Every structure is written in structure tokens, then in C-alpha cells.
Chain A
């Protein structure tokens, strides 16, 4: 690991100020992603500003029915929370599908959103990677890309986003609360992540010194009918090849509304807006669900190593929506 100075932050303003005057500084949450990257030399922050003990460790039920999740809430506590399990099961399921019990006990809500791709070339200092070194080239495009993206990739980068939690939050229209050198702001999850374009080294719209303080999940009555399904190369403790987070509102056999987000298939948690449009007002049948999946996946640009993800994503979308429809029968 690179030598660094360790600064435990006493409050958010101090933490933000510490970063603002140190261009190489980084916030430390649970460390499960950042410390790992530091060990392999992909991240070399100095100083490391520990924000894990800031008072952002509450899960609040808001008067409007929404839920505000503090950025320092551990993944395990969030997944076990009664309100989360009852009102937004998709969120608990996404968390429980990620990492291991040990990692979920350390990992924070804010840190989870800022973890970086597990593309093998990004993690290998001996291989060119545009996300790690701007302009170096992409090793994945002609290399091992089984686990990488099929939607919204660019010439520069085909990395897939690793977070399961972010996929559920994308489906739920979550809002990220940020405190930074320029003050406080809220960013909808749909605007939070950047598609790679020709600047794949910028994962999010955050500027240096911006600190996530909370994530807010707005009220959504039919989120009680939500589900997360993840397909991976082994049964547990692996990143998604394809995952689907969905909520479905069905009445009299007709889809009134739907939320769908996909993981493992794009550089960002992928909100399947085209599929949602195809679902609204249509009969809740397998044919409708397949048509909606096809509408979303028509834009896919798979490579030989990950072309299997197109039919796989189609099947996982259909199966997830069928399961949710059964909940209304």
C-alpha cells in the first residue's frame, strides 16, 4: 500500500475541507473497496480522511413515506432493517446478493455507490486501461470481457458497474445527498453516474471533495411488490453477470406502472426506461414482458465474449416480472 496520512474526520465540514486542500486525498468509509484498490496500487490516496464515524448512521422514515439512509449505514444493517425489508424488498435483496457477510458488515451505503469496476484490466497495473490511465487504451475490448458491459459502452471503455445496491436504488428513483466544497446538493441516481464516453476515468458527476451524506428513497406504494434477481458464475459471493431490480404495479391483469433497472450490463446502473414504456398499460403476460425486454436490449452492442448477456438479460427480466405478477394473483 502507498504511504499515507490518516485523518479521522470529526464532522462533515472538516472532512470536506480536508479534501478540498489535498488533491490526492480520499474519503475512507468501510474500506472494502478502496483499501483493496490501494493494495493493488490502483488507488494511491494521501491523506485518507476517515468519514465512517460521522453521524450519518441512521435510517429515517420520512413523513411522506420515503426513507432516508445515512451514508455511513453499513450494508448489513440496511439489509436487516425492518422498514427496508417490508417496504422496499428489492433493496434488501440487492444488498444480500452482494459481497459476503463479512464485507457487508464493513461496507457503507455511500462507499457502495462509489466502488469502482471489477474489470480485470482496470485492476491490473501491467495492462493498459483508459479508466485507470487516461489515453492508455482499452485492453478489455479485444480481451477477456465476459463480465463487461453490452449497453452504452464507448470505444474507450466497456467496464460494467459493480454495485447491486445502486441497481435497486436506480429502480427506486433514489436521490443522493451531497455535501461539498461548493455547498450541499441533491443528485438523482439517474444523473449521478456518468456514461464513459471519452472520459471513462470519471465514474460519477461528483467533484473532488464532494461527500455523500445520505441516500433518499422516495415513496413508492407498489415497491412492496419489488424483487431483485442476480445471475452470476457461482451461486454466491460473486459480481453480477446480469441482475434485474424491478417493481411492478398490476391491476386487473394490466400493468399500471413498472420500474426496472439492470446490473452487470452497463457502465452505470441501467434504468430500463424503454422496457418500462413498453409495459405501461399492457397486459401482464410473458409476451408483454419479452417485448419490453427486447425493446430495452435492442440497443445492445455485445462483444463475442459477452454476447450471451443479451439473451440472459432477456430471460432474467421476463422471469423477474413473471414472479412479481404472481404476487398479484
Chain B
């Protein structure tokens, strides 16, 4: 596996030290006004952090918890690069305040698989060369995981011809529609869609 692939899949290597946030020493040891203590349940681990209420989940992951898998693209919910799973549901973590999601079980791309045992979608993205620069990939994969659960539950989409069908058939049009919240500036869509389709079937 190339270095690019390792970086982009966001999986921790077993030789890596545990990803624990390094506290940044403050220049002046004064309590910051308005900070709150927040506990987040991320990838099966309870993580306590002291942050301002306006810190989003995305910034909490990246700046406080050392989880840089979720990416900051637009920071406005429009690109999907920051997508993570809250209680199994995909959301844009840039629009979710960390303080408001302490009761959720959160999964980031780091929690989906390991170097030795990749998540099937991570494996499929490699097999189909479903990325170029890779910046959107962690969000694409988390989104696809959530999307497959939604389809499994029989949720229709805007292109579903039968709104009341019990079963969803994920053809390419369905996948494109359901993944429209994840942009890829390299336009790797031509390989992303088959990668997801392989896991769906």
C-alpha cells in the first residue's frame, strides 16, 4: 500500500502511538472564559476535553483529539469532507456543536477499520482507485457507510420511482443521488460509484 493510500484511509497503524491529544501549554495560565468540559464518545473511547461551546465536532476531532481523518473542506455543510457517523447516522461534523452531541456514539474514519483489517468500503475504494488527492475520501467512506444503512432500512431517495417500496435497489443513479452531499474536486465519481456498488451488492 502506498503512503498516499495509508494517509487517505485514515486507519491507524498498529505501530502508531495511541492518538491522544497533546495539551497545548497556554501562554498565560488564566482560565478561558466560557469554557465547558465535554465528554465525547469517539470510536469506542470516552474522551474528555475542555472547550468553548462554539467548537464544532470537526474542530474538536482535529484540534483537540488528534483525529485528522475528518477533513475541513467548506466548513459549511456543503462538501461532506467532514462526514462522520453519530449513532450510526452520517452527519456533517462541521455544523454540529461538540457540546450538543455528548450523548452520541461517534465513529470517524479512524474507527471504521484497521491497517490489517480494512472496512469493506475502504478496501473497495482502494480496489476501484476511487480517489485521486484523497481529501474527500474519509468523508466519502463515512457517508457511504451511513448511506448503506439507510438503504438497508428501506429509506427512499429523490430518484426512487416507488416511494413506498420496502426494498431499495442501489443502482448507479441511486448511489449518485444518495451521495450528493459528498463532493470530489478530483471528480473520482466514476470510480467512487462502482466502489460503493460493489459493497452494496
Contacts and interface: CB of A to CB of B under 8 A. Distances in A.
B52 A3 contact: yes
Interface stretch (B1-9, B74-82, B109-117): B74-82
A31 B53 contact: no
Interface string A68-93: 00000000100110100110010011
Interface string B157-199: 1101001100000000000111111100000000000000000
A118 to B, nearest CB: 11
B200 interface: no
Given A36-B76, A86-B164, A101 B54 contact: no
B100 A31 contact: yes
Contacts of A28: 97, 100
A103 B76 CA distance: 11
A102 B153 contact: no
Interface residues of B, number: 42
A79 B100 contact: no
B147 A6 contact: no
A126 interface: no
Interface residues of A, number: 39
Nearest to A82: B164
B54 A4 contact: yes
Contacts of B75: 39
A96 B146 CA distance: 16
Interface in A24-72: 28, 31-32, 35-36, 38-40, 48, 50, 52
Given A93-B158, A236-B158, A102 B92 contact: yes
Contacts of B53: 4-6, 48
Nearest to B178: A101
A217 B165 CA distance: 23
Contacts of A4: 53-54
B157 A6 contact: no
Contacts of A93: 158, 163
Contact of B158 (A48, A97, A103): A97
A181 interface: no
Contacts of B181: 99-103, 237
Contacts of B182: 100
Contacts of A20: none
Interface of A: 1-6, 8, 28, 31-32, 35-36, 38-40, 48, 50, 52, 76, 79-80, 82, 85-86, 89, 92-93, 96-97, 99-103, 105-106, 235-237
